[in-house]
């Protein structure tokens, strides 16, 4: 049968002993900041402010150059990657509201621009470019 401590001094002594003998838990260390994901580092631009965006320089964050529409009244955009060292578009890709790769296996440190075209003259488009 367990004893019940009714004397305040005895209870305080027991609590003090328990506090010394029970290890305390350390406060949790702050979580490390997550590295930026490929899409997390995307830049947002508006077609109409310009028709060609950049120059940008590829990073190790993404192996490819990706693009998606996030707004505007266009149904889709046409996009290509124009590498500065080449000076011409690689190929034109039709891009909607899901991420689409517009250049693959791009070497880190490559400078490029992204020319865009909309589906109908006068349409607007807001896009994100991840590289």
Q: 56: exposed, middle or buried (C-beta count within 10 Å: 0-12, 13-18, 19+)?
A: middle
Q: List pLDDT tens digits, range 54-101.
A: 999 999 999 999 999 999 999 999 999 999 999 999 999 999 999 999
Euclidean distance between CA atoms 58 and 83, whole angstroms: 10
Residue 16 phi/psi, 5° resolution?
-65, -40
Q: What is the pLDDT of residue 130?
A: 97
pTM: 0.71
């Amino acid at each position: 049968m367990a004893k019940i401590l009714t004397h305040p001094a005895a209870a305080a002594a027991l609590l003090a002993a328990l506090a010394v003998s029970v290890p305390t838990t350390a406060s949790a260390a702050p979580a490390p900041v997550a590295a930026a994901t490929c899409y997390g580092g995307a830049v947002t631009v508006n077609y109409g402010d310009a028709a060609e965006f950049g120059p940008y320089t590829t990073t190790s964050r993404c192996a490819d150059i990706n693009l998606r529409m996030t707004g505007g009244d266009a149904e889709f955009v046409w996009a290509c990657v124009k590498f500065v060292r080449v000076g011409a578009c690689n190929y034109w890709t039709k891009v909607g509201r899901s991420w689409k790769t517009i250049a693959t296996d791009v070497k880190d440190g490559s400078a490029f621009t992204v020319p865009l075209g909309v589906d109908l003259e006068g349409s607007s488009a807001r896009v994100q470019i991840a590289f």
